[in-house]
Structures are given as structure tokens and as C-alpha cells.
Amino acid sequence: MGKTITISPVTRIEGHAKVTIYLDDSGNVADTFVNVVELRGFEQFVIGRPVEEMPRIVTSICGVCPWHHHLASAKANDAVFGVEIPPAGRKLRELCQNIAYCSDKILHFFFLAGPDFVMGPDADYSVRNVFGILQANPEVGKKVVHARYLGTQMLNIISGKSIHPVTAVPGGFSKPLLEEERQKVLPMAIEVLEFAKFAISFAKENLFSKYLDAINSLGVIETGFLGLVADDGSLEIYDGKLRLMKPDGSYEEFEPKDYTEYIGEHIEPWSYLKFPYAKKWGDFSMDLDSPSGIYRTNALARINVCEKIATPLAQAELEEFREKFGRPAQQTLLYNWARLIELVYAAERAVELLNDPEITSKETRVPVTPRAARGVGCVEAPRGTLIHDYETDENGLVTNCNLIVGTTHNNAPINMSVKQAAMSLIKDGKYDQGILNRVEMAIRAYDPCLSCATHAFDETLSVKMDIVDASGNVLAKLEN
């Protein structure tokens, strides 16, 4: 008699997910499904609205990635209006992108993924959280919160708002950076860079080294990767071309506006969320032994697709990473390591930009005129490649809108990693809380933002595993 294991909701990820694990008659994993809720109705809601409102509206899509939606939308607007923005406007946008990246990386590593490594996946869940980290490493907690304070303050000084930003506008950036503001922000960025250096050293010495076995076994799947790169192949998070890399490391590149030629969207009847795939790699298949069309985005993808990193400290980290794990690295838990390399890069790049004399230029914006056009804006959100695609009529009103958010790209890989983790951990019907948490770790590594729409005060929130026989009878329940 087959059984069903349900983990719902998965904790310490952005949003809610329900994991269902089907066991066969011998108690081994037959199949798994990760079901998620997606933002529904946004693309219809914006039809008929002035396109220049989009950068402001889209910050309400997600409380986790407001800056990245804001910037992708502003870039799509630039394309719709057909303008080149002034260098200072571009640099201010890129500066905000990098500062927001730093805050997000710190949040994810220390609050979400870190507890699994600091406290260990078998630790009681009551201490396997950021408070456990604080008790085990109080000095680390102080550094974490200070670095995040600085990120908030920098964005407030540069743009006036760290939440719900409004300063990236069609044609540029609405607020030039004053010299006295630059002088305030630069030492803050330098301090965040010092924290980034501490964070990756701390993680390598104290955390990752203890869990290399898990890194090399849990949720490992073989896929391709997608991410932005600069013209010289360097890591890019604000601009550039999209590089689509096959599992064997070969790749092709394309302009973000041409994404529909390369990326298809597969639909599964059991999920509202679409499954993007590489059109030219054959039919879509999530078969673990012979996947087809599957690529991943987010930190590990960006680290894999780039040739190099243009800042020296992050480049040194990249070289060490590749020496250990090769290229492309397929281990899912390496997302956490790649994330910290990106933290170093983002902090270094923020310092670079703040030392650029052009950053305080008063020329940050050009005027725009409505027209009928299509515009695609693409940035790397922390959770993956973020694409905003708008079409407008001659009055600049939106006639079509398509968004592909970072987590959506990773829908198929998340499902595959969960299946791989469950198949490797659950044998003969035996499982426990530690095993369940390891399955969740495979999801958390992707740092998914599964539902920007969900919002309710849920007093029954818990991790739940139900074991149900083929007739629908609940045989056992586990909760934490």
C-alpha cells in the first residue's frame, strides 16, 4: 500500500510551499511534487495603466525584492520610451542594486539558510534559527545587524526610501547624489565590505567545511544555468547579456529582449506556477536520470555562467570555489556559498561606484515621450533572473505585460532537487525530523520567493508531514 508524505508549509523560505512525497509499496520514494502559490492577476491589473507608473507599482509585488522589481521595471520603461539614460543615472541604479543585494545576501545566509549549518540539520528546531545563531555566536549577531543597518541607511540617503523605492524612473534616476551624501555613504559601504569579507571567511572556516558531505550529496542534480554576464563574460547583476549554459559548460548568449526565442514555459497540471525551460535543448523533462531543457538561475547559476568577476576579492573567492567544485558546479547547497561570493562582489562594486567621480553628476535623467513600443528590462534579482516585458500603445498605456521572476526559473530544479533529496534519504518507509529538514534544506538553498501575493495572519502555521495510504487514510502525523 503506497503512502503520501506532505510537508506544508516549508519553513524559512519566502512564501509557502507544500511538499508531497509519494512512497511506493516498499516505502521508497516513488515521486515528489512541490506545490506553490503564485502571484495571480498582476499582469492583467496593469493593462491600460501608464507605463511610467510601473516602476512604482511593481515594488508592491514583493516585499523581499522591491528594489530589483523596481530596477527591472525602470529598464523596461527605458526600452519602451527608446532612451539611453545618462551614465550617472545608470550608476546610481547599479549602486542601489548592489546595496540591496548586500542586505539580501546577509539576510538569507544568516537568517534563513545559515541556521541549518550553524546549528546542524539535526538540531532541535527550537534552536535551529537565527536566535540559535545569536546564542552560539553573539558577536556574529551584532555584526549582522550592523551591516544591515548600514544597507538601510545607504539606500535612504541615496534614494530617500529603502522600502518601496521610487527613484528609478523612465529615463534615469530622479535624485542626483550630492557630494556630501557620497562622503557619508562611502565609509558605510566600506564597512559592509569588511563584513562581507568576515562573512565568507566565517562560513568557509566554521560552516561549509563541516558539511561537505551534505553539500556533495543533498539535492544534487545536473542542469544548465542562466544568468547575466558583461561583454567580457564577467559577473553582472544589473545589465548585460543573458548567458544560457548547458550542463557540459557550453553556452550561447542572447539579449534579454529575445528571451522568448530561448525560454519556453511548460505547464504541469498539479502546479499553478509555470516551468520555464530552454527551448532549444529538446522537450521539457524533469526525469532525474535524463532531464531535458532544465536550467537554474540565482547565485550558483551566476557564479557558474560568468568567466570571471571584475572585483579582486570576489575573483579570488571564485577561483577558490572553482578549484574545489569545478565549473559548472552542480551541488545545490553550493547556492549558499555562491551567495556569499556575490555578497563580496556587491560590496566591492558598491565601493567602486561610490569612488567613481561621475556618480555625483547632476545629469541623471533624460525626458521621455510616450509611444507604441515593446520594452524588456532584465536584472539579476537575488533569487534569479528577473524579466519585465511591457508593450504600450501610442499613449504609453500598457497593452501587454509579462513577468518572469527569479524563483519561477527554478521551479523545475527545485522539484528535481527535492525528489533527489527525498529518494536519497527516505528508504524502506523510514524517515524522521532530521530527514525532513534535509529535504527542506534542498529547497531553502534556492532561496525561493514562492508567493509574493500571500498575506494572512496564519495562527496554524507549522511544518506538517502527513502519511496517508492509498485510500486517503491518515496513518501518522509529524509536526514541528
Partner 1 sequence: MISDFIPEYCSSPILVLGCGNILFGDDGFGPAVAQSLLAKADLPEGLCVIDAGTSVREILFDITLSKTRPRRIIIVDAIDKGLKPGVLFRPSLKSVPLKKLDDFSMHQVPTSNLLYELKELCRLDVELLACQVQTIPGKVAPGLSPPVQDAVSRAVEMILRAASDDTHRGANAQDQLSDLRRI
Residue ranges in contact with partner 1 by CB under 8 A: 9-16, 39-42, 44-45, 59-64, 66, 103, 107, 111-112, 125-131, 134, 141-142, 144-146, 148-150, 152-153, 163-164, 187-188, 191, 449-463, 479-480
DSSP 112: I
Q: Which residues contact 3 (CB under 8 A, 6 or more apart)?
A: 22, 23, 27, 429, 467, 468, 469, 470, 475
Long-range CB pairs of 59-64 (<8 Å, 24+ gap) are: 59/164, 59/165, 59/166, 60/164, 61/403, 61/452, 62/405, 62/449, 62/452, 63/163, 63/452, 64/14, 64/104, 64/383, 64/449, 64/452
Closer residue to partner 1 in complex, CB, 394/479: 479
CB of 284 to partner 1, least distance (A): 27
CB of 282 to partner 1, least distance (A): 34
Closer residue to partner 1 in complex, CB, 145/316: 145
Closer residue to partner 1 in complex, CB, 47/288: 47
340: its cell numbers: 556569499
Closer residue to partner 1 in complex, CB, 45/288: 45
Among the listed residues 38, 79, 39, the one whose alpha carbon sits nearest the alpha carbon of residue 55:
79
CB of 50 to partner 1, least distance (A): 15
CB of 391 to partner 1, least distance (A): 19
CB of 124 to partner 1, least distance (A): 9
Closer residue to partner 1 in complex, CB, 222/466: 466
Q: Look at the alpha carbons of 258, 263, 268, 271 in this order and tell me if their dihedral is positive or negative.
A: negative
Cβ contact 53:398 at 8 Å: no
CB of 13 to partner 1, least distance (A): 7
198: its cell numbers: 568576515
Angle between helix 138-159 and 179-202 (nearest 10): 150
The values of phi and psi at residue 288, to 5°, are -65, -35
The whole-angstrom separation of Cα 270 and Cα 252 is: 32
Closer residue to partner 1 in complex, CB, 83/130: 130
The whole-angstrom separation of Cα 382 and Cα 378 is: 13
The values of phi and psi at residue 271, to 5°, are -140, 140
Closer residue to partner 1 in complex, CB, 387/450: 450
Amino acid occupying residue 39: L
CB of 325 to partner 1, least distance (A): 28
The whole-angstrom separation of Cα 294 and Cα 310 is: 28
Q: Look at the alpha carbons of 169, 175, 176, 182 in this order and tell me if their dihedral is positive or negative.
A: negative
CB of 355 to partner 1, least distance (A): 17
Number of other CB atoms surrounding residue 239 within 10 Å: 18
Closer residue to partner 1 in complex, CB, 44/250: 44
Closer residue to partner 1 in complex, CB, 40/427: 40
CB of 381 to partner 1, least distance (A): 15
